[in-house]
Structure 1
C-alpha cells in the first residue's frame, strides 16, 4: 500500500511498510469510516511521528507491547517494525476486523493479537505485556491508563500520546498549577515525564487540541496494598474535589467530620490547614494509613 518501507534494522526488526496519508484515507474509505469524536478517533498519518513514538518508548525486538485504540494501524505497524509482539485492544468492530488484514499485507511475518473490547473492561491480556505504547483516545485517556496499570502489573514502562493538558497534568509535581488527582494517582504506579510535543498536522482529522507524549516507568509493584490504594485514591478525590479548601474541610465528609479529619491529618504528619495541591502521593498514603489505624482503634 505504501512505499514508505523499512528494511531490517536492529536485530529482530522486521521489514514493514508504514501508512501515509493516502493509505489512511483509502482504508477509511474501504471501511466507510468517518472518525468520531465520541470514540476519540484521530489517526496518525505521519511515519516519522510513529517512529519517534516507538523510539521514545525504547521498544526492542521481542517486547510484548499492549496498544489501546490502534485504529487503522499506523502505530501498530511501527511497533511491529521494531520487532515487538503487539496486543492491540480496539473497541470499534470494523477497525478490529481490518487491522489483521492490513498487517498481513504490510508486515506478513509480524506477531499481532487483536482484542475487540473496551479497554476499561479488560482484565486479562495474552503474553504478559511489558510495555504500553498507544495513541490513547483522548476522551478516556486517564481512566484507561489507570485501569491498565492497576490490573496489569507486568506493564513496566510505556509512552502514550494524549491531549497536552492531560499529559502535563499526569507529569505534574506538587505545587504546580496543573497538579491534581490524575497526577497523584499516576505517581502511585511510577515516575512520569513529558517526552515531546506532537504537531496537530500529523493527525487525520486534524484535532482542535495540542498533543504530547508522556513516558512512564513503573516503580515496584505499587506503594501499598490494594485496600490502601483504594482508600488513598478516595482521599485524593475528596481533596481535589474541593481543592480550594483546607484538607480538614475537604476531607471532613469522607473522614466523618472536620475534627476527626484534623486528628487523622495530624497523625499522618500533615498540617490540617494544607491543601491537596501541596501533597505528594506519599503524603496521601500516610493519611490513608492514619485513617485505617483510627478505624482499627474504633473497632
Structure 2
C-alpha cells in the first residue's frame, strides 16, 4: 500500500532505471480522477494494446471508454510514452483475492469475481502488440517493461510480486501475451542490482536486424561447441569483469567459459544451481551480446 508517486518523481524514477521516456502534452494532469480517487496504489499492471494507432488511442480513448487508457505506452523501440497520470481507464474491475495477494506480496490465487476497481489501485501501462501470438515483442520493448516495473517497485520498496498482468486480474482478459512469471523473474534480477543504461532502440527508422544476439537456448552451450557467438559471449563477460580466461576468449565453449558465465550469474545475484555457468534467458538478456559474424539456428546449432 502506498500513496502514488508525483508525476515528477515518476519521471525521475523511470529515467533513473534507464527507461527512455517521451512526454506528451499535458500528461501530468490528464486523468480520470473526477471519477474517484487514485490510490493507495499496490502495484503495476501490464497490458497489450491489441490494435493500431496505439498512441492516439491510449491518450484519447474511445467514446465508450474515455482516455487516458494508461499512464504510458511502450512502443516496440523500447520508448515509454507518457500520456496520462492518475486514475486511468486501464484495469476495470477485478479480483479482490488477487488484490489482497498483491498487497501482501504473495503468490497470485485463482482469479475471483470482478469486485474491485483496479483503476484506483494500480499503475497501468500498455505495451504495443497485436496480442495474436505472432506479433513479436522486441528485446528493447521487453527491456523497457522490465525497467519501468522495476523503477516503480524500487521507488515504493515493492518486490516483483507487485507486478501483474491484466489477465491475472480478471477472467475477462488475456493480456499481455507473454509470460508474466518470466517478466517477474527479470524484475527480481534487476532489483538485485543497480540500474544500468538501456538497450539501443529498434524499430522503424533503425536497422531491422537485432542489435543483440537472440538467446539460442541452454542446449547450445555444450563443451566443444564452436561458434563466433561463443567468442562474442566471452568478450562481453570480460567487459563485465567476469572473464576467467587464461587464454582467449575463443570460439569453442569450454570450462573457462562456464566459469566466466557463472561469475556473471553471481554478479546478477544468482547462487547455487542458478549460477552453474549455463546461460539462461534472463541472464542472457542482461548480458546483451552484440550480433556475431556467424548465425545460430532456431534449434541452437550452427545455421
Choose 1 or 2 for highest CA Rg: 1
TM-score by length of 2: 0.33
Larger RCO, structures 1/2 (Cα 8 Å, 6+ apart)? 2
Please give the TM-score of this superposition, normalised by the length of structure 1.
0.33
